[in-house]
Structures are given as C-alpha cells and as structure tokens.
Amino acid sequence: MVNKLSEVDPTWRQALATVDKTTLKVRMGIHTGQCLVGNVGAPSRMKYGLLGDKVNTASRLENCNKRYGTSVIISESVWREPGVADNFVCRPLDRVAVKGKSEGFTILEVLSSRSDASTQQLVLAGLHIRALEAYRNLDFHRAVELLKESGEKVSIDRRILARC
C-alpha cells in the first residue's frame, strides 16, 4: 500500500497545488488477536467498528510511526504469524511498552514484500537485526558499528545511537 501511495501522490499533489501543499501519507499499526467487530450503538445511531485490547494496541503502534519516522509498524506477535517472515522484509525497530501496557514487546517496520525487496532493504533488515541483538546484549560498540554501517540517516538509527 505504501509503495502504491508513492505512485498516487504526484497526481494528488498536482491536483491540490492550487489549494494546498498537502502530501498523502499513510501510517499503519498492525497487531493480532481477538476483538469485537460489528455495529455498535442504538438502532437509530449505529457505527461499525472494532473494540478490544488488541485494537487499542494496533492504534498505539500506528501512533509509534510518528516517533520512528516510519509508515508501517507491526508487533512481534504479527511477525511470528505463519507466512509473515517468509513474505515480508522487516527490520526490528525497538522494544516498547505502549500506553496502557506494563510489558514491552518488539516492534518492526515493514520495508517491503519479499518479492519486491531491493538488495538495500534486505541488507538494512539484516544489519538492524544484528544491531538490536548487540544492543540487547549490552555490546553498544558493536551496535553503533552496525547502525553506522547501515548508512541510513533515519530516526530509528539516531534514537538507538543516542542510547549507546
């Protein structure tokens, strides 16, 4: 979806040029688990929606995109679902405890579908896996080396580097 948005954005930008300089941006937080889905409310005023703890967690993940400068964040539980790791290239971002949760979990950025992934995305994902592993093992020097090797000047790198 994010890849397709880059194709649509120039058209929208041109159409909105006289009105606004807005660009289209999409942020998604994806989590897995049981929730309630359906119409909620009185017969005269219904709203179709989702309710539950897992929905709230997905919403918190969507909000994490602002902090990390990303577009699509998934939880570790999504990453562990069958087929996800085989079909998507993701890089681990951090371990967080979102609002309302006392226990933290790993969050990952979806970089691309595996079939569309560039060599750079595959390398970046591998470097970040090793960098966060070094960070969690308190090998801050190695974590810094790996993050600098990634060559990316993105917010996650600066956040982790600042902690090292």
Which domains, and CATH codes, for the chain?
A: 2-117 (3.30.70.1230)
Q: Which helix (H) or strand (E) holds 46?
A: strand 45-51
Query: Residue 3's pLDDT is what?
Result: 63
**pLDDT tens digits for range 2-50:** 666 666 666 666 666 666 666 667 899 999 999 989 998 888 888 898 8
**Token couple for 134:** 């070094």
- Give residue 69's pLDDT: 85
114 contact partners, CB below 8 Å, separation of at least 6: 86, 87, 88, 89
Backbone region of residue 77 per phi and psi (left: phi > 0; alpha: psi in -120 to 50; beta: other values): alpha
In single-letter form, the type of residue at position 43 comes to: P
Q: What is the pLDDT of residues 116-162, one digit of tens each?
A: 988 888 988 998 899 889 988 999 999 888 888 776 545 556 666 77
Distance CA 76, CA 120 (A): 23
Query: In sequence order, what are the beta bridge partners of 144?
Result: none
| CA atoms of 91 and 143, how far apart (whole Å) | 14
- pLDDT, one tens digit per residue, over 66-102 is 888 889 999 999 999 999 999 999 999 888 888 888 8
State how far the Cα of 94 lies from the Cα of 107, in Å rounded to an integer.
6
Report d(CA 107, CA 30) in Å as an integer: 10
**Residue 116 amino acid letter:** D
